A = this chain, B = another copy of it.
Amino acid sequence: MPSRLSLRHSIASGLRRRVAAGDLAPGERLPSEPQLAKTLGVSRSSLRAAIALLEEDGLVQRLHGSGTYVTHRPVMRNDLSRNFGVSSMIASMGLEAGTVDEHCGLEPAPALVAEALELEAGEPVTALRRVRTADDRRVVYSVDWCRRDVLSPERMRDLGDGSVYDALADLDLPVHHGVATISPGMAGGEVAERLDVPRGSLLLTLFQVDSTADGHVVLVSEEHHLADAFEVTVYRRGPGEGSEQV
């Protein structure tokens, strides 16, 4: 296991902190690369690689011959571009995240889930159903599906407050990326009851398929968010540069 993350990532992480802390204000120019590399005690190559990461994130902008400037970054509440899970989503809004009505067991896999996990429809899979709360208010009803030979119901039950992502990372199956399908919806019988809202309440539903770096699907989940629970945002990179519509 690599365990130690690469130098450029730790440099980038440090710079991110400085930007977030306001040490580097928006619009401000960073020290020149040779100088900054010297003060950080790294080579200019590694520093450039780190800055490239920030640039890709839209945190800074590089101008040839002029300098590197901190971008006026918009305030984003909950960026879907990164994968954090509901808990940190709630925590990031200053609310206390909790879990109620947790239930875990073997269930026959729905068609879409089975397809993603490369199983036959109806085959038993580990399913974790729970209601997430923010300051004791029920805001999200979620279901996580996982192959039983990857995460048994017992093991999934044991993780308690730990994220499913952490459990998978411990198994050397870290989630590298996921694809979420977003759709509006109205609370039906089960969801309305779990979330304790009237039927027909507006929902934002995320159907998500998570994969490891080598492309194996390890987790499928469905999250029903109350419409007014949080603001969900997405960072969209502009057209141009490397963009191919598939």
Residue ranges of A at the interface with B (Cβ–Cβ < 8 Å): 2, 5-6, 9, 12-13, 16-17, 20, 26-27, 45, 48-49, 52-53, 56-58, 61, 64, 69, 71-76, 80-85, 88, 91-92, 165, 169, 174-186, 202-204, 208-211, 213-216, 227, 231-246
Nearest CB in chain B to that of A209: its residue: B74
Supplied contacts A74-B179, A84-B245, A175-B239, 7 more A-B pairs, CB within 8 Å: A20-B246, A58-B177, A61-B176, A72-B216, A74-B209, A74-B211, A178-B235
Interfacial chain B residues near A20, Cβ < 8 Å: 244, 246
Partner of A2, one of B64, B81, B227: B64
Report the minimal beta-carbon distance from A101 to chain B, rounded to whole angstroms.
23
Cross-chain contact A236 with B183 (CB below 8 angstroms): no
Whether the pair A244, B84 counts as a contact (CB closer than 8 A) is: no
- How often does this chain occur in the complex, in copies? 2
If A179-B234, A184-B185 touch, whether A165 touches B239 (CB-CB below 8 Å) is yes
Interchain CB contact under 8 A, A214 and B72: yes
| Contact between B185 and A182, CB atoms less than 8 A apart | no
Contact flag A214-B83 (CB < 8 Å), given A9-B241, A231-B181, A237-B177: no
Q: Are B74 and A238 within 8 A (Cβ)?
A: no
Q: Are the C-beta atoms of A61 and B213 separated by less than 8 Å? A: yes
* Bound-state Cα–Cα, A236 to B233, Å: 12
Decide: B72 and A238 in contact? CB cutoff 8 A.
no
21 contacts between A and B (CB under 8 A): A6-B64, A9-B242, A26-B215, A49-B49, A58-B176, A61-B214, A72-B215, A72-B216, A76-B179, A76-B246, A80-B236, A81-B235, A84-B239, A84-B245, A165-B239, A169-B240, A178-B235, A179-B234, A181-B233, A182-B233, A234-B234
